[in-house]
């Protein structure tokens, strides 16, 4: 009985050691996989609907567009990199005279796909409609939203 107990404890120790060993190996791979630096980000407000001379109840709508650069500061080349943005200070409902956004999947114009970026390489990106603004007044919003975050949402490493 004592032999089986000792073998069970030994087997469990070996099993736990293997789990730690293999999980650390995978963590090292993902850490080396890709690191990026977003620089030179510029935001612009663009009118999408409405006309300054229009009378009546038609409204004016605006969006925030983004452009900048992304640099691959990691050790590996990447492909199919998706760069997009999120407005963290926007509300999630259609409303007037406040910046809002939606929680729907990003459309093609709301992200930029970079087909290939070598390690150390830098590429420009641009995408539209990070945030939306609607008003019945004939006045554009004065400021962009406070918290816009530009992120590398996904990528694949080149082998």
CA separation for the pair 64, 87 (Å, rounded): 10
- pLDDT tens-place string over residues 66-112: 999 999 999 999 999 999 999 999 888 887 788 999 888 899 999 99
For the record, the structure tokens of 97 come out as 């005279």
Neighbours of 86 (CB within 10 A): 17
Strand 132-135 to 60-72 pairing: antiparallel
- pLDDT tens-place string over residues 113-159: 999 999 999 999 999 999 999 988 888 888 899 899 999 999 999 98
Pick from 19, 22, 29, 9: nearest CA to 157: 29
Its pTM stands at 0.71
CA separation for the pair 144, 91 (Å, rounded): 14
pLDDT given for residue 102 in this prediction = 85
């Amino acid at each position: 009985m004592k032999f089986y107990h000792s073998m069970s404890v030994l087997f469990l120790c070996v099993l736990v050691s293997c789990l730690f060993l293999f999980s650390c190996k995978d963590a090292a791979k993902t850490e080396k996989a890709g690191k990026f630096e977003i620089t030179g980000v510029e935001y612009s407000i663009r009118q999408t609907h409405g006309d300054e001379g229009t009378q009546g109840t038609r409204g004016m709508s605006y969006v925030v567009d983004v452009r900048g650069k992304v640099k691959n500061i990691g050790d590996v080349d990447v492909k199919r990199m998706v760069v997009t943005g999120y407005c963290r200070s926007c509300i999630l409902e259609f409303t007037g005279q406040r910046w809002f956004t939606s929680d729907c999947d990003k459309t093609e114009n709301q992200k930029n796909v970079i087909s290939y970026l070598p390690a150390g390489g830098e590429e420009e990106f641009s995408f539209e409609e990070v945030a939306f603004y609607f008003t019945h007044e004939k006045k554009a919003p004065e400021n962009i939203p406070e918290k816009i975050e530009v992120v590398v949402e996904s990528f694949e490493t080149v082998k």
